[in-house]
């Protein structure tokens, strides 16, 4: 078990950053998704022991993060979102220093630092001071610092933010290699769905301090409401097509469906079982010429997951379900 969260709450003054977050998280590559301000960084900091939860229990790799933060940190790597650098040190010295702080001897620390910097692809630049690094190089050093002591779990807070497409691709490739090789498990916090889709097998979705979903990406897609794209049968006249589309939309909405305009002209996207769609069509006497199940992208599933549970009580319920489901 990577993480076990039970009723975790955290408040900063009047702002409730985490509300009753509960869940059991497993996997080798876990994505932590959520919009800005969802509570991802707060949750990570609580796991590392940088922040204390106001309520609830956090266990990382089976260890209580509040009672034994030292033991947790010895088995955990953390790459923070912020600058997090020691000005004046070179990349190599920074990584070796991080290793020494984790209990490696100076010699072993430098050997290991070279090895990990090779892995993250920081070549001769490792001898330059970190404040002269580009964002991409800086992210690599942070990743190397998180990996240098061979942790069992690495927490990566927005590692691809600020990277150009090529650097981002390289970093994601590295994460894929870690996932597929002997590397540690990682928890990747991001608001970029593509990053999670590419590198992770499990995903958590947070929104406004609550855990909305915890499970595999496949189960996230399966759990999303099915949508259908339909086109009513209409004459060639434009006003007739528009009237029929409007009438059908109104009828479907009265039946309780969420209806959006489709990407193709003259189509609607409806989240309603086909049988109910046919019922509405028959009742309105508007035949349907085309009906097709629509595959949702992860982005759409993500947005549906967040938008679909605005109500706090529903969110808390989901959080509990996620705890059992993951």
Binding site for other proteins (CB under 8 A): 45, 48-52, 66, 69-71, 73-74, 76-78, 80, 82-89, 93, 97-98, 100-106, 108-109, 112, 115, 118-119, 121, 123, 145-147, 149-150, 170, 173-174, 177-178, 181-183
CB of 231 to other proteins, least distance (A): 48
DSSP state of 90: B
CB of 107 to other proteins, least distance (A): 8
Token duo for residue 289: 């010429």
- Give whichever of 119 and 298 is closer to other proteins, judged by the CB atom: 119
Nearest Cα to 205, choosing from 319, 76, 55, 78?
319
- Give whichever of 93 and 227 is closer to other proteins, judged by the CB atom: 93
Neighbouring C-alpha atoms within 13 Å toward the C-beta of 12? 8
Q: How far apart, in whole angstroms, are the C-alpha atoms of residue 133 and residue 136?
A: 8
CB of 96 to other proteins, least distance (A): 9
Count of residues in the chain: 326
Please state whether beta strands 3-12 and 288-294 pair in parallel, antiparallel, or not at all (unpaired).
Answer: unpaired
Please state whether beta strands 185-190 and 153-157 pair in parallel, antiparallel, or not at all (unpaired).
Answer: parallel
Q: How far apart, in whole angstroms, are the C-alpha atoms of residue 211 and residue 209?
A: 7
CB of 164 to other proteins, least distance (A): 15
- Give whichever of 2 and 174 is closer to other proteins, judged by the CB atom: 174
CB of 267 to other proteins, least distance (A): 45
DSSP state of 34: -
Q: How far is CA 280 from the centre of its chain?
A: 38
- Give whichever of 102 and 255 is closer to other proteins, judged by the CB atom: 102
CB of 85 to other proteins, least distance (A): 6
- Give whichever of 99 and 280 is closer to other proteins, judged by the CB atom: 99
- Give whichever of 6 and 75 is closer to other proteins, judged by the CB atom: 75
């Amino acid at each position: 078990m990577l993480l076990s969260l039970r009723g975790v709450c955290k408040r900063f003054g009047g702002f409730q950053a985490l509300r009753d977050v509960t869940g059991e998280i497993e996997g080798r590559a876990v994505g932590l998704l959520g919009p800005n301000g969802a509570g991802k960084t707060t949750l990570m900091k609580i796991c590392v022991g940088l922040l204390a939860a106001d309520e609830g229990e956090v266990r990382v790799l089976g260890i209580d993060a509040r009672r034994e933060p030292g033991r947790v940190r010895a088995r955990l790597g953390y790459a923070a979102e912020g600058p997090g650098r020691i000005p004046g040190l070179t990349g190599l010295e920074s990584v070796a220093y991080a290793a020494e702080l984790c209990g490696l001897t100076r010699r072993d620390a430098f050997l290991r630092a070279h090895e990990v910097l090779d892995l993250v692809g920081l070549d001769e630049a490792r001898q330059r001071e970190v404040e002269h690094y580009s964002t991409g190089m800086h992210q690599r050093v942070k990743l190397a610092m998180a990996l240098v002591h061979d942790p069992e779990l690495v927490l990566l807070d927005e590692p691809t933010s600020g990277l150009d497409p090529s650097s981002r691709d390289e970093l994601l490739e590295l994460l894929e290699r870690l996932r597929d090789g002997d590397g540690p498990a990682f928890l990747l916090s991001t608001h970029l769905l593509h990053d999670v889709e590419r590198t992770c097998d499990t995903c958590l979705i947070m929104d406004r301090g609550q855990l909305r979903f915890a499970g595999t990406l496949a189960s996230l897609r399966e759990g999303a409401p099915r949508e259908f794209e339909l086109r009513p049968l209409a004459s060639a006249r434009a006003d007739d097509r528009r009237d029929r589309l409007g009438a059908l939309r109104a009828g479907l909405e009265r039946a309780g469906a969420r209806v959006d305009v489709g990407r193709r002209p003259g189509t609607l996207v409806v989240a309603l079982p086909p049988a109910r769609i046919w019922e509405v069509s028959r009742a309105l006497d508007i035949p349907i010429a085309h009906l097709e199940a629509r595959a949702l992208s992860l982005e759409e599933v993500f947005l549906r997951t967040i938008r679909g549970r605005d109500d706090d009580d529903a969110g808390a319920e989901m959080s509990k379900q996620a705890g059992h489901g993951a």
